[in-house]
Structures are given as structure tokens and as C-alpha cells.
């Protein structure tokens, strides 16, 4: 690989000039620029980013800490949007996948990114984990923003309004005529992500009907277990609102297996609007998370904050997407 010395020699200038041409941040005559560019092109020169980072301190790289379960479509959508917007702003996004969802795994992942001298850190996780990541930051930390957690003081954050989303989904079911509506949500995660459930509870209270929140894991493969829990705990439920689309899709499958019609006997609503959610049978009513807008705001928080922005929070409103999996309650 040719180095900056090779280019300088070929172009008949000093390495400082070559550096100036490539960084674009210093005055160079057009003549010099052209000769340097021509020489670089001829040699196939590309600056060594390790050396640039070491000498300049700036890496033009941002770190993204995510759960290891890349196959979770919601995370990958966030990642795609973040990469796209980072690129537009001239930053490369470096991934670090947390091996598990516990805080230590996140902190390890964060450190590996810091070792690469990233200029900013994006954390996709729940609020507590993001907070712990923040505390684990070294003395002279790069800016950090959390993505998609619940709002909480002291952490710049771009997220969807989960409470409002939960409220909208529940209102939708209530307006269809449902009164026995169960919420299916996350158990055992410290802390429980409460936003969606809170929205559900508020809508139920407002409608003066009894709420039933059921603890269940929320993955694709947990549909059967969740359905069992519903049938046991709220046997006369006519609708369920699931914490996320993955669980809702698993639930749809479990219902089909038992011959329970959706929405005829049980309406199902989810949260996320995965690409898959429009294509299940029946297609899934859900709450669309504005992933793109979240990514834009997260980049803004990270890069445009100046000195003041360290505590800003941007909460973006979601949108209800009504599809086939919800309908009037049975017997109405």
C-alpha cells in the first residue's frame, strides 16, 4: 500500500500538502491539489485511517451499541436508518454487539468502541442500561445518545412516544367495542419497559374498564406461552395488545394452531410495524415506530448538541396502522 510519502514524492510536494489536500481543511493552490490528486490516483493511495486517527484525534466514526440479536428486525431497522444518516453527515458507524442484554455486556461493547476512538456513542437499549453505559464512560467521554429507550432525566435521547403508542393501540380496540382487553408485556427485564403498558392502562382507565396486564416473554417463539397465559388469566378476553409485533405474530400463529379465529374470536394488536407485519395472515394491526425520524434526531443530538445539548430528549409520536387482526368483538 502506498503511503503519504509516496504520493508526496510523486507529486513533488511535502507530505503536509498531501495531507491538506486529503483533509480538505487547509489552503492549497489548485495546481498543487491537482498534482497530488493525480499522483494519489495513479498510485491507488488511500489514507491509513489508523494513522489519521492517531495523529489527528478525529476518526469520523461513531459507535453503535446494540443487542446481539441482530435478527430482531426492529434493531436492524434502527441500525439501517442510523447508518444511512451517519453517512450523509460524513460519519462511519461502527457496530458493537452486546453479547447479552445485561449491562456488563453493553459496557464491554461500549469500551471496544471507545478503544477505536469513536467520536460519539449511540446506545440502543433500555434506559437503565443506557444510564449504566453513560456512567461507565471514561474521564473525557465522547458525546452519547440513547435511542429508543424510555425518557428519563440526564441522558440525551431520541425515541418514540411509547406511552402514546400504547394509548392509541388500546383506544383503537376500545373504539371497536372491546372491553376485555389484555396487555401482554415483558417480564423480568430490569427495569420493565413501562411506556407501552402505561398507555394501555391510561386508555383502560379512561374508558372505565378493568385492565389486565400479563407478564410474558415477547419473542416470536413465545406466542404459545403468551396465549396460554391469556386463556388462563383472562379467559373472556376479546382482544389483546402485545408489547411488540414479534410476540403478536407468534400469537397469531398460536391462535391458528388452536383454531381460534383472529380477529373473529380474539383481536390482536402489536407495536413496531415490522416489514413482516403487513404480510401475516391476518395482517397485523400495529403501532408504527418512526424509525427514520428517530435516527435523524439521534444524529442531531450527537453531533449538533454543542455544549448545552447533553440533556435534550426528543420524543416522536407514533402512528396507528389498522389492519386485519383487529375487528369488533365476538357477538357484537
Partner DNA sequence: CTGAAAGCGCTTACAG
Residues that bind DNA (CB under 7 A): 1, 3-5, 13-20, 22-23, 25-29, 31-32, 45-48, 51-52, 54-58
Phi, psi dihedral angles at 75 (to 5 degrees):
-65, -40
The CA-based dihedral angle spanning residues 86, 164, 276, 278, taken in that order and rounded to the nearest 10 degrees: -120
Q: By CB under 8 A, tell whether 26 contacts a second copy.
A: no
- Select from a second copy, DNA, none the partner in contact with residue 16, using the beta carbon and a kind-dependent cut-off of 5 to 8 Å: DNA
Q: Is 29 helix (H, G, I), strand (E, B) or coil?
A: coil
User: Minimum Å distance from CB 215 to a second copy?
Assistant: 21
Q: Which residue has the cell 471496544?
A: 112
Least Cβ distance, residue 74 to a second copy (angstroms): 10
Asked if residues 210 and 183 have their Cβ atoms less than 8 Å apart, the reply is no
d(CA 238, CA 217): 21
- Contact between 206 and a second copy by CB under 8 A: the answer reads no
Tell how strand 319-321 and strand 286-288 pair up.
antiparallel
Q: What minimum distance in Å lies between the beta carbon of 41 and DNA? A: 14
CA distance 203 to 166: 8
Answer with the entry of DNA, a second copy, none that 56 interacts with (C-beta below 5 to 8 A by kind).
Answer: DNA
Region 170-189 residues binding a second copy, contact defined as CB under 8 A: none
- Cα 93 to the chain's mean position, in Å? 14
When the beta carbons of 50 and 70 are compared against DNA, the nearer one is 50
Q: Least distance from C-beta 138 to a second copy, angstroms?
A: 6
Among the listed ranges 10-18, 90-98, 180-188, 197-205, the one in contact with a second copy (CB under 8 A) is 90-98
75: cell is 434493531
d(CA 222, CA 225): 5
Selection from DNA, a second copy, none that 79 binds (CB < 5 to 8 A by kind) is a second copy
Beta bridge partners of 145: 122
| Residue 48 touching a second copy (CB under 8 A) | yes
Rule CB under 8 A: say whether 250 interacts with a second copy. Answer: yes
Instruction: Kindly state whether residue 70 participates in binding a second copy, applying the rule CB under 8 A.
Output: yes
Residue 58 interacting with a second copy (CB under 8 A): no
Is 210 near a second copy (CB under 8 A)?
no
C-alpha cell at 65: 451499541
Residue 101: partners with Cβ closer than 8 Å, 6 or more residues away: 67, 125, 129, 189
Closer residue to a second copy, CB minimum distance, 99 or 304: 99
- Using rule CB under 8 A, residue 79 touches a second copy: yes
Sole binder of a second copy in the list 27, 44, 235, 331 (CB under 8 A): 44
User: Which is nearer to DNA, 142 or 217 (by Cβ)?
Assistant: 142
Site residues, a second copy (CB under 8 A): 1, 44, 46-51, 53-54, 59, 68-71, 73, 76-77, 79-80, 83, 92, 94-95, 97, 111-112, 114-117, 138-140, 220-221, 223, 249-250, 252-253, 256, 275-276, 278-281, 283
Amino acid at each position: 500500500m502506498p503511503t503519504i510519502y509516496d504520493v508526496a514524492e510523486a507529486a513533488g510536494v511535502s507530505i503536509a500538502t498531501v495531507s491538506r489536500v486529503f483533509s480538505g481543511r487547509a489552503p492549497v493552490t489548485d495546481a498543487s491539489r491537482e498534482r497530488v490528486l493525480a499522483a494519489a490516483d495513479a498510485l491507488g493511495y488511500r489514507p491509513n485511517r489508523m494513522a489519521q486517527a492517531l495523529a489527528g484525534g478525529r476518526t469520523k466514526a461513531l459507535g453503535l451499541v446494540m443487542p446481539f440479536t441482530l435478527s430482531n428486525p426492529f434493531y436492524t431497522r434502527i441500525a439501517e436508518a442510523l447508518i444511512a444518516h451517519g453517512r450523509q453527515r460524513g460519519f462511519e458507524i461502527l457496530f458493537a454487539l452486546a453479547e447479552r442484554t445485561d449491562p456488563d455486556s453493553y459496557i464491554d461493547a461500549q469500551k471496544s468502541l471507545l478503544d477505536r476512538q469513536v467520536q460519539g456513542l449511540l446506545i440502543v437499549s433500555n434506559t437503565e442500561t443506557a444510564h449504566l453505559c453513560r456512567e461507565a464512560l471514561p474521564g473525557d467521554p465522547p458525546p452519547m445518545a440513547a435511542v429508543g429507550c424510555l425518557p428519563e432525566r440526564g441522558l440525551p435521547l431520541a425515541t418514540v412516544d411509547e406511552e402514546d403508542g400504547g394509548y392509541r393501540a388500546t383506544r383503537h380496540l376500545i373504539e371497536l367495542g372491546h372491553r376485555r382487553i389484555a396487555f401482554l408485556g415483558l417480564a423480568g427485564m430490569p427495569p420493565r419497559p413501562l411506556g407501552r403498558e402505561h398507555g394501555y392502562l391510561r386508555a383502560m382507565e379512561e374508558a372505565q374498564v378493568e385492565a389486565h396486564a400479563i407478564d410474558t416473554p415477547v419473542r416470536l417463539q413465545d406466542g404459545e406461552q403468551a396465549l396460554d397465559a391469556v386463556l388462563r388469566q383472562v379467559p373472556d378476553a376479546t382482544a389483546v395488545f402485545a408489547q411488540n409485533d414479534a410476540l403478536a405474530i407468534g400469537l397469531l400463529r398460536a391462535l391458528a394452531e388452536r383454531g381460534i379465529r383472529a380477529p373473529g374470536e380474539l383481536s390482536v394488536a402489536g407495536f413496531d410495524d415490522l416489514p413482516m407485519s403487513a404480510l401475516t395472515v391476518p395482517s397485523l394491526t400495529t403501532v408504527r415506530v418512526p424509525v427514520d425520524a428517530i435516527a435523524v434526531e439521534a444524529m442531531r443530538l450527537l453531533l449538533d448538541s454543542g455544549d448545552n445539548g447533553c440533556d435534550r430528549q426528543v420524543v416522536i409520536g407514533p402512528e396507528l396502522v389498522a389492519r386485519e387482526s383487529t375487528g369488533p368483538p365476538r357477538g357484537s
